């Protein structure tokens, strides 16, 4: 059985490291990048089952839009410290699966990942 790959796009290695063991334990492969350009290259060249992205690494929430230009269907989970309704609405309009506001637990993330990968889109 081929493992599904989850791609993290985040410039905080500690954040990725805190979530990775729990996600791997659920049977997924995890890859991570810190720059948008590297992320887009991976998305174009590899099959990603899911993308988890910190929207704050790209000003103006342009990162979700950039991902959608190269892959219109991959589920995207966004993470941010911005709990403003304006940002949430803007990002949701890009077609994300879930909007997480930090902090949250690994268990919360695992539930959302499972839902994103097992619900019909």
Q: Is the dihedral angle over the CA atoms 112, 115, 116, 121 positive or is it negative?
A: negative
- 8 Å CB contact between 63 and 42: no
Q: How far apart are CA 49 and CA 113, in angstroms?
A: 10
Number of Cβ within 10 Å of residue 16's Cβ equals 20
* pLDDT at residue number 59: 65
pLDDT tens digits for range 22-56: 999 999 999 999 988 899 999 999 999 999 999 98
Structural domains of the chain sorted by starting position, each given as residue range(s) with its CATH number in brackets? 5-118 (3.40.50.2300)
- For the full predicted model, state whether its pTM sits above 0.85: yes
Q: How far apart are CA 57 and CA 94, in angstroms?
A: 16
Strand blocks (E) in the chain? 5-9, 29-33, 50-54, 76-80, 98-101
pLDDT tens digits for range 55-102: 988 765 588 999 999 999 999 999 999 899 998 998 899 899 999 999
């Amino acid at each position: 059985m081929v493992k599904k790959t989850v791609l993290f796009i985040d410039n905080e290695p500690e954040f990725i490291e805190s979530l990775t063991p729990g996600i791997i334990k659920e049977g997924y492969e995890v890859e991570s990048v810190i720059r948008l350009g590297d992320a887009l290259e991976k998305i174009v060249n590899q099959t990603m089952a899911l993308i988890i992205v910190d929207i704050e690494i790209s000003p103006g929430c342009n990162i979700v839009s950039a991902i959608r230009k190269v892959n219109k269907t991959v589920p995207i989970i966004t993470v941010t410290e911005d709990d403003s309704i304006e940002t949430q609405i803007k990002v949701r309009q890009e077609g994300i699966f879930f909007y997480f506001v930090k902090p949250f637990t690994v268990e919360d993330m695992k539930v959302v990942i499972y839902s994103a990968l097992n619900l019909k889109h």
